[in-house]
Amino acid sequence: MTLDKYLQKVIDQQSFLEFVHALKADKENEQKKEQQNPSNPYGSGWNDWENSTIEGFLDSAIVWAEASNFGDIFNGDENLWKKFALFLYSGKFYE
């Protein structure tokens, strides 16, 4: 299952944790690929991770949350588990 599908399924604590496990596996997979064949340092990694450090990841998630009111401007979902999953997911790609 893709990371996006895990994200769409987040409705409660259990599905949130399933998403976080999938996010972690996605990052581990990218790191493995990067060790074998490094991607361009000026672009995203093999699995489209823009942020390779925890600082960059969290900074991007914070900027995304502030700019979108935790995604409200995109989907208006009131599910807090989904909002926090979106927060973590945005750390992967938001610049």
**How is the chain split into domains, by residue range?**
3-93
Cβ-contact 14, 85 below 8 angstroms: no
| Proportion of the chain above pLDDT 70, given as a percent | 95
Question: For residue 88, what pLDDT is reported?
Answer: 95
Instruction: Report, as an integer, the average pLDDT of 13-25.
Output: 98
User: Considering the chain, what is the average pLDDT of its residues?
Assistant: 89
Q: Read off φ and ψ for residue 19, nearest 5 degrees.
A: -60, -45
In tens, the pLDDT along 46-88 reads 888 988 889 999 999 999 999 988 877 666 667 889 999 999 9
Question: For residue 47, what pLDDT is reported?
Answer: 85
Q: What is the dihedral of CA 63, 76, 5, 61, to 10 degrees?
A: 10
Cβ-contact 70, 48 below 8 angstroms: no
Instruction: Report, as an integer, the average pLDDT of 15-26.
Output: 97
- The residue assigned the tokens 């996605």 is 26
Cβ-contact 85, 7 below 8 angstroms: yes
Q: What is the Cα–Cα distance from 95 to 89, expressed in whole angstroms?
A: 12
Instruction: Report, as an integer, the average pLDDT of 30-34.
Output: 90
